[in-house]
Structure 1
Amino acid sequence: MKQPRINSTLYILSDAGIAILTWLCFYFLRTVIYHYPFTLPAGFYLGLLLYTTGWLSLHFLSGAYEDIYHKSKLSEVLRTIVVSLIGTLVLLFIFILKNPQQNNFNYYAEFYSLLIPMLFFTIVSRLLFLRAVNLQLKKNKVFFNVLLIGTSKNAVRFFNTFTTTNSHSGYLITSFLNINGNAGIDLPASVYKYNQLSAIDDIIAGDAIEEVIITVEKNERDLLADILRLLSDKDVNIKITPDAVDIISGAVQATNVMGIPLIDVHSGILPSWQKNIKRLMDISIALTGLVILFPLLLYAAIRTLFSSAGSVIFFQQRMGYKGKPFTIYKFRSMNKNAEEDGPMLSSANDQRITRWGKIMRKWRLDELPQLINIIKGEMSLVGPRPERKFYIDQIVAKHPEYKYLLKVKPGLTSWGMVKFGYASTVDEMIERMPYDIMYIENVSIILDLKIMLHSIRIILSGKGK
C-alpha cells in the first residue's frame, strides 16, 4: 500500500522560501533602522543566494531534514532556536568585521530584525508540518509495520500494553516471531505469526517491516546477541524492552517515542549533526581531491592504458551499506582477465599484478577513482573496506559478527587498514575485522580525522601493497 508520506523535500522548499522572505524583511527593516528609502542594491541577489544556501546548509547539518515522522515538536522548536541563533550571530560578526563602527547599536538592531522573523516563520513552518504528520498518523494514512520478537508470554503482555498506549502513534504490530516455536499464541488473527528465527530476512521483506521490537529476557544474552546479529545489516530500526536494571542504572538511554520505554539499538550510528558533517566532509574532500589530483589521475590513467591490455578503470561489485551491492571503481592494476578462474585475493608477489600496478598499489593510487564512489554516496572517506559477497559469505559462516560491518558505509580507508593493512586471505580479513568493529562501536568525526591522518602518513611512506 502506497502511503502519502510527507517528503523532506517540502521541508527544504519551505526553508528556502523562508530564507527569501526573511532576506527581504531584513532589507526593509534596515531602511527603517538607517532611515533611507527601500531599494534593492546591486549585490542583493548574490547575497540572497549565499544567504539561502547558508541557512539550508545549517538546517541540513543540524539534522532538520531527517525523517520527520520521528520528530517531536519540542525538539524541533529547540533545534530551530539554536540554528537561528548560530546563523544570525555569524551574520552579525560578518557585518561588524566588514564595517567596524565605534557604536554597534545598529548592528544589534539588525541582528534582531533578522533573528525574530527567521525564528517566527521557521517555527510556524515546522509546527504546521508536524501537525500534518500527526493527523496522518492518527487517521492511519501513514503507518509503520512492526515485527515483535520474543516468547509468547512476553509478546502478549507487551502487545496489550503497546496497543493501549499507541493507538494513534502510527506504529502497527503486524508480525510476531515466536522464539519458543509454540503455536498457541493469544494475539489477534491480523498479526502474522512465525516461529523460525532463520526466516527473519523473508519476514522483514515480505511484511514490509520498518521497526523491530525485541522482548527477549536479559538472561537470554546469547539469544539476544544472535537476533541482533541477524538484524545488523537490515534497514530497520531496532528497539529492546528494558528491565528495571537498565532504567535505574542509566547504562542505556531509553526513549519514549512509541509511548512506552524502549531502548534504541543504535551502535555505529552518529548523531544527525555529526552524520551530516561527515557526509559534507566526504563530498568536500572528494571533490577537492579530484580537482587537485586531476593531473595525477590523468597520469595514472595514461600509464595504466599503456601498461598492459585491458580497460583503464576496473569495475567490481562490492557489498555496501546495509548489504546493498554497488560497483567500486579502481585503476586496473592486474593483467586482463586476472580472475577468469574465479575470485582470487591478491598477495605481495602476485604474478597477475602489472609492473605499473605494483607502483600504484604501493602508493594507493589505484584507489583514487573511489573518490567518485564517495561523491555518489556509496562510500565514505572512512569506514570498513568493502568486500565481495563471495568472501563475505565465507567469513560470516565462521564469524557471523562480520555482518556488523555492514551497518555503516564502506570507506576508502579504515581503522583496520591503518592497523593491519590489506588482507591477502580470508583469515587475514577475519584478523582485521575486530579493528573495524571497534570503529563502528566508537565512530565519531574525531576518530575519522585521526584515521585519515594515519592513512596519509602510511601513503606518504609508501607502505601500501
Structure 2
Amino acid sequence: MSRFAFASTGKASRLLVISELSIVYLGFLLVSVGFYFNSYDILSNQLQMLIEVLVIPLVIIVLMLSLGLYNPRLRCNGDGVGRRLVIICSLVLLLALSLSGLNALSSSFHVVSLSVLTSLCMLMGFRYFISHKFGDTFRRKVLVIGAGKRAEIIRQRMRREADKKGFTIVGFVPMAGDDEIDTGELKMAVDLDQPNLLVQMVKDQRIDEIVVACDERRGHLPLQALFACKLYGVEVMDVLNFIERETGQIAVNQLYPSWLVYSNGFVRSDSIRSIASNMLNLGLAVIIICLLWPLLLFVMMAIYLEDRGPIFYRQTRIGYAGKPFEILKFRSMRVNAQANGAQWAAKNDSRATRIGQFMRKYHIDELPQIFNILKGEMSFIGPRPEQPEFVERLCTQLPYYAERHNVKPGLAGWAQLKYPYGACDKDALEKLQYDLYYVKHRNFWFDLAIFVQTIEVVCFAQGSR
C-alpha cells in the first residue's frame, strides 16, 4: 500500500494534485449538501460557509505538499503518514475553529470538520485504489545505451525502489569503449550500427526514453540509430540530464565543462527580480519576527538560565560572492565549544547543552538568522553558508564548489530538504550536487516549494544534529 498510496510518481504528480483537489472539493460538497439538504437558501446566505468550502480544500492540499505527501521519494511507514494526517487535521480544524469565532458548536465548524475527515478518507481510498490498479501505468520504460562506469551511476544513485517510482530500467546496451559492468539479466545485445534494429527493440519493448550513458562517445555514439528513435517519438537524453531530473541533483564528478555552458539554467537574476526577492525576504522576516517574538524571548531566557552564558553565538561564514559575514544563532553548545578549531557537528554532540539539543532538533537555534536576512546578508532560501576553514578545503577538493556562492546563502535550502545534516567531506559533495541543482533551477516557484516543504523538516526534526 505504501508504494503509491502515500506518495505520487514523478510523472503523475501534477495529475495527482488536480485529482485529489477535486476529491477534496467533492467531499466538502457532499457533506454540505447532506447537512443543508432541503435548506439550500440557508447555505447560499452564509457567505462565511461558502468561503470556507472554497478555501479550506486548497489549504489541505498545500499542507499535504508541505508535509511530503506529494514527495515522489517519500520514505516513511504507516506511522509516519499517520502523524502527517494528524497534523493536517489539527491545523485545518484549528483554522476552521478560528473562522467560526472559536465557537465549536457552530454549524459551520461542524460542516468543515466533518468535510475534512470525509475528504481525507476519500483521498486515502483513492490512493489505495490507484496503487493497486494503476501503480505501473505512469512508470516510464527506460533503455540505457551503455554498460560502463557512467551507466553504473544510475544504479548507484537510484538503487532503492523509492528512487525509481517514476521509471523502470528495461535494459543496458553495451557499447564499444565501455568499461563494462555486470548488468545481469538487464544486458541487451543489439547491433547499433543498424538503426532499424534499435528502433525495432524500442517498438517491441515499448520504450519511452533512451538514456545515453556510454563511457566513450567519440567514434562510438550511434547517432543514426538514436535519431531514428527520436523520430519514432522516443525521448533521448544524456545521463547527466536524466540523473538531474530524477534525483534533483547534479552529478558533479561526472560533469564535463561544456555541459555547464550549454545546459539550460545558471542564469543571472535581473535587477527587477533581485529587488523583488529582497523585498519579499524583508517582508517575510518582519512578519515572522512579529509572530514569533514571544518564542524568541522564551528561548533567550532558557539559554541564559541554563548556564548563565551568552545567549547568541556569532560565527564567520562565507556568503554571496565568497564574502565573509557574521552569522547569528542562538547558542546551542557550551561556551568555547570550538576552542580546538572548526569541526562538524556530530550526532548527539556532547558539546550541546540541554536546551541546545532541543533547539537543534527543531532548528530553533537558526531563528536569529532572520536578522541576517534583514541586513541583506542572507535570504530565506539558498545554500547553507559554511565556515571559511571548510570552504577553503572543499574548494580545492570538490569541483565547482565555489559556484554555490553565486547566490545568497539561505536559512533553508534544497539540500537541507533532500539530504541529512552533513558531517564530512563526502556529505559536502552530496549537498553540493543539490546546491548546484538549486543554483541552476532557482525561481520564485521553486523557492516557494522549498519554503513550504521546510515545514516537514521542522515538524519531524529531520536533518538536525
TM range (shorter): 0.3 to 0.5
Structure number with the bigger relative contact order (C-alpha 8 A, sep ≥ 6) is 2
Indicate the structure (1 or 2) with the bigger Cα radius of gyration.
1
Normalising by structure 1, we get a TM-score of 0.43
